[in-house]
Amino acid sequence: MPTEVILPKVDMDMATGQISRWFAEEGATVKKGDVLFEIETDKAAMEIDAPASGVLRDVTGKEGVDIAVGSAVAWIYADGEAYKDKAPISPLEGEMSTKSTEGVASEGTALALSPVEPTPPDRRLADHPPLEGEGKTRATPLARRLAREAGLNLSGISGTGPHGRVVKADIDAVLSSPLEGEVSAKRTEGVASGGTAFAPSPVEATPPDRPSAGHPPLKGEGDVMKLFEEGSYELVPHDNMRKTIARRLVEAKTTIPHFYLTLDCELDALLALRTQLNAAAPVKKTDKGEAPVYKLSVNDMVIKAMAMALKAVPDANASWTESAMVKHRHADVGVAVSIPGGLITPIIRHADEKTLSVISNEMKDLASRARSRKLKPEEYQGGTTAVSNLGMFGIKDFAAVINPPHATILAVGAGEERAVVRNGEIKIATVMSVTLSTDHRAVDGALGAELLVAFKKLIENPMGMLV
């Protein structure tokens, strides 16, 4: 039997993915381990290998199209294996009806859309089924969330995903219909010839002059578009990264009680030490001539100081969960890196235990691969805190949004010469403002202040980072 090639789940939050590029064409001979295609997730591009050797057939996964995780995108036939000009049915799909995905038999009997226990008739025909169709309706987590936000009943939507699963595209199709609140046979797929219609979704019909369902008044796409003259703009569809950034930021700001602590750090001692360390760096031969083994940046030293501060104040090195506080044994620091279309936070693991030169070289490698979307999931998932530095743009100070599961994030501003008072005299010093955003559920005000003071002490006395 031919080997099924599926779209794998390569990210913890991944519900759908896009094939950005196929490396093999229909009918090509491939070997197990050859790169078949590249997946574009919301954070990275990953190459997927062939699971078997043979001839690639029935390539159904199109480039640039959202595909549900677990969906078959192609099949590999072994050499000499008979090929029928029709994609084979997977074992699970073989248990389903081969004639209808509409859930209706010609005699009016509902067909099972998946090999799960069928929904009892009295529930299926209830006047008010559950809003999310939680009973036996199969749907991706993303589809469930979108349906809940739009007030749609999942049990009234026909799924086009694997094994009848409702996916994002099905929700989008319903929301784009002329009258989203009006239940039709096409939407519910629940009317048999001579049978009884399923209960309609309890959603009010949307008047033509109102924004589409799922969009609050004055915030829907229709209302926004009315504010601009036609032809005065260009519509750029959101990619997976932008959608995920938007979703996670809304989630973070609405579910995490942020509070902010700001203080100033004098940088003169750190800048002097950085100059000395870079001058003492050994050199190595490269294709472009001799180059130093490392070149420290201020941000490298900020990463190290933040990690050591967390070790000095271990109660702040935590993550919140509903059942328990997660106390971390190591300081894994995520660093915000701007990439085309968004940002990503690669993580320096055990940053408290690494030397400045190791942190510097590791950060350069991670940032380079982040910009080309070549990071592995384990290189950007997790972490215990994060650093976001906009100092290179001259930003004096700002407050960053916490990235779950972190309980803190440090926003770093530019170092600039300012007048400071020492022993009653005005002096000039290089000063950097930093703001700590904190999850108040995990870190209280006094604890957050203690963490920030520990960070300031390391920045202003940087020799402590060398011992």
> Cis (ω within 30 of 0) for the bond into 120?
no
Q: Are 97 and 112 in contact (CB under 8 A)?
A: yes
Round to the nearest angstrom and report the end-to-end CA distance of the chain. Answer: 62
Q: Are 380 and 334 in contact (CB under 8 A)?
A: yes
Catalytic site includes residue 258: no
**Residue 338 neighbours by CB under 8 Å, 6+ apart:** none
SS (H, E, C) 306-355: HHHHHHHCHHHCEEECCCCEEECCCCCEEECEEECCEEECCEECCHHHCC
**Residue 114 neighbours by CB under 8 Å, 6+ apart:** 96, 136, 138, 163, 164, 165
Other CB atoms within 10 A of residue 140 CB: 23
State the angle between helix axes of 298-312 and 268-279 in degrees (0 to 180), rounded to the nearest 10.
Answer: 120
Please report, for residues 150, 182, 211, 410, the alpha-carbon distance to residue 207 in angstroms, rounded to integers and kept in the order given: 15, 11, 8, 46
Q: Are 448 and 315 in contact (CB under 8 A)?
A: no
Could you say which DSSP state residue 164 is in?
A: G
- In this structure, the chain runs to a length of 467
Q: Which candidate, 331, 343, 353, 323, places its Cα nearest to that of 408?
A: 331
Which alpha helices (H) appear in 350-444, and where do they start and end?
356-371
- Angle CA 234–239–242, to nearest 5: 95
Phi, psi of 79 (to 5 degrees): -55, 130
> Which listed residue (258, 330, 350, 440) is catalytic?
440
Residue 246, H or E segment: helix 240-255
Q: Which candidate, 317, 237, 267, places its Cα nearest to that of 431?
A: 267
Helix, strand or coil, per DSSP, at residue 121: helix
Active-site residues: which are they?
Answer: 440
